[in-house]
Amino acid sequence: MAFDVENIQVKREGTLVSIEIKVPKDAIREKEEEVLRLLGQELKIPGFRPGKAPKHLLLRRYGEENFWEEVRENLIQDWLNRTLKELDLHPLTTPKVKTLEFVKGEALSFQAEFEILPEFTIPEDLKISVEEPPPAEVREEEVEGVLNDLRREAATLVPKDTAAEEGDIVHIKRGEHIWEGQATASKPIGKQLLGVKAGTRVVLSD
């Protein structure tokens, strides 16, 4: 049936929305018939084909209270969804529903409460300023260090017979273990590798 907003009352307090919905009597009758049709197809009543059993037998088999509870729940779900869509409301929380009145086949009214996003307006003349950070200072030695690292990564190691010089890679054997060090004056152990020749026994200290 057609949706009638006159049956709806909306109250807002900040982000809390409360809706009271009064379902028209015609909508209740339509839902009652719809649920009966579904029960008639699902329930097997001896002596009757699906959909042909009378109402009183269907209610006896399914339970009258169960039937009206299903009618009520279906109506609440349908009318709440239609109301939210019609009023363009988007709950952030699951609506808390409370039945205010329910007379079987005659009347149904209920209340739903939920939270929504707060409303705010951005001024048309709003100006946003962003401070540009100062350019980063890069020292020449830092650039050279990075370039040297890249050169070392791309370099091919070639054995040499002369003494180890700054930046040379030295393979050191201790027992069965071999580890790799770099001859460099910038590190304590690396400094001790400067001038070392292949095959030389050295004593390293931290």
Residues forming beta bridges with residue 181, ordered by sequence position: 170
Q: Which residue has the higher pLDDT, 97 or 49?
A: 97
pLDDT tens profile 149-186: 787 777 666 677 777 677 677 666 666 666 566 656 66
pTM beyond 0.85: the answer is no
pLDDT in tens, 15-67: 999 999 999 999 999 999 999 999 888 888 888 888 788 888 888 888 999 99
Residues of the chain with CATH 3.30.70.1050: 5-115
> Does the pLDDT value for residue 2 go beyond 60?
no
pLDDT digits (tens, 9 = 90+) for 66-89: 999 999 999 999 999 999 999 999
Nearest to 35 by CA among 66, 1, 80: 66
The predicted structure's pLDDT at residue 153: 72
**CATH superfamily of domain region 5-115:** Trigger factor ribosome-binding domain (3.30.70.1050)
